[in-house]
Every structure is written in structure tokens, then in C-alpha cells.
Chains A and B, each alone.
Chain A
């Protein structure tokens, strides 16, 4: 069935380090792919998305490219800040009639000053 697999956390980085959070997926058809961010005590917020192969989503310095050949959607940021500390969720939206979302289990990022 459809699924999303994320790297396990926590990921701990120093400020200004390069970030990669891996995400791979299994899906029938051509899903849209999303990254969401959850700050402490809050709901999830949409960070970026890509709706077809080779699309690059970007927002707030974060980027992810929809790679159909490797079924991946890895999240990257060139220089993280303490304020990026949060939990990041990879997700896909399936193309069947219900258009249901499938979420990964989340990756906690901690950035140290």
C-alpha cells in the first residue's frame, strides 16, 4: 500500500550547519508530496510541496525535489538556525478518489547555538 518513510530522529545540528532529512515513499499513480513543520505546542504547518516529478518545492530556505526515479523527497537547508528546531513531517496525497494523505512518523530537529 501507499506509505512514507522518514529518517528517524532526533537530528541535532549546530547553527549554520547543512540539513538533510530523508524521505522516501511508495505510492500508486502520481502523488503530490509535502513537507510539514510542527513547532512545540502547535499544529502542523505546510512548509513546501511538489506536485509532479522533478518539481522543486521551496520555502524559508528549505528545499525538496520530487525524484520519481528514486521515489524520494528529501528536505534540505543550507544553513539552519535555532528557530528551525521543530518536528518535520513528510507526506503524500494519493491520487485515488478519496485523495487521502499519508504521513511519515516525523523527524525531530534540534539546532544548537
Chain B
């Protein structure tokens, strides 16, 4: 009963470094997304995907790339880390199936610090 698994849980990067945050779900959910959570700003959508091979931008996509080659995995790539990307990142998944009835299942988060 794994749900949504995010790795790593904590990461410190130097400015300019790149890295990939991993997200995997075992519920066969079509819909996956990445959010960042910053103090006083709630959740902001970075990128989302409605199925394998389909991705789209959210409200704060700059500096991040995603791909969805399988239903299970939705990695988030930071191309050249900046201090402004210091945040807590959450991956979430949901069934879609042509209805709005389904809630999200969230991962436990990745706390990223860029120095």
C-alpha cells in the first residue's frame, strides 16, 4: 500500500546544480502533478500530467521540466538550481476517469534548500 512515493526527502543543492526529484505511484492514477509550498503562499502548481506522454505547465513552471514516460512515474527536473527554488515540493496523483469526484493522494514531500 505504497501510494505516492517521493525521493529524496531532503536535499541541499548549490546554485547552478541540476537534480531530479522522483515521484512514483502504484494506484494506476492518470493524473499527476507537482506543487511547491512556500510559507504564506499555499500550494502552487508547477507542472501536471493527465496521462503517459502528456504534460502541461502550471502557474510556476519556469526553471522546471517534467516528463511522463509511464503511468507510474513523474519526475521533476531542476535545470539550474536557484535560491528562489528553496521550497517544499509535493507530488500528488488522482484518478480522472472523466469526473471531478476523486481527491488527491499526496506524497510526503521533498524539502529542498538551494545555497
Contacts and interface: CB of A to CB of B under 8 A. Distances in A.
Nearest to A100: B48
A51 B90 contact: no
B50 interface: yes
B31 A45 contact: no
B26 interface: no
A36 B104 contact: yes
Interface residues of A, number: 23
A56 interface: no
Contacts of A95: 100
A53 to B, nearest CB: 13
Given A43-B90, A46-B104, A98 B56 contact: yes
A103 B101 contact: no
A94 interface: yes
B42 A44 contact: no
A31 B48 contact: no
A67 interface: no
Contacts of A58: none
Nearest to B35: A103
B75 interface: no
Interface in B70-113: 90, 92, 94, 96, 99-109
A94 B94 CA distance: 13
A69 B55 CA distance: 35
Contact of A105 (B41, B45, B92): B41
6 contacts: A34-B104, A43-B106, A44-B106, A49-B101, A89-B42, A100-B45
Given A46-B103, A46-B105, A99-B94, 19 more contacts: A31-B100, A32-B100, A36-B106, A43-B4, A43-B90, A43-B106, A45-B106, A51-B101, A89-B42, A89-B43, A95-B100, A98-B56, A99-B31, A99-B50, A99-B96, A100-B48, A103-B35, A103-B42, A104-B42
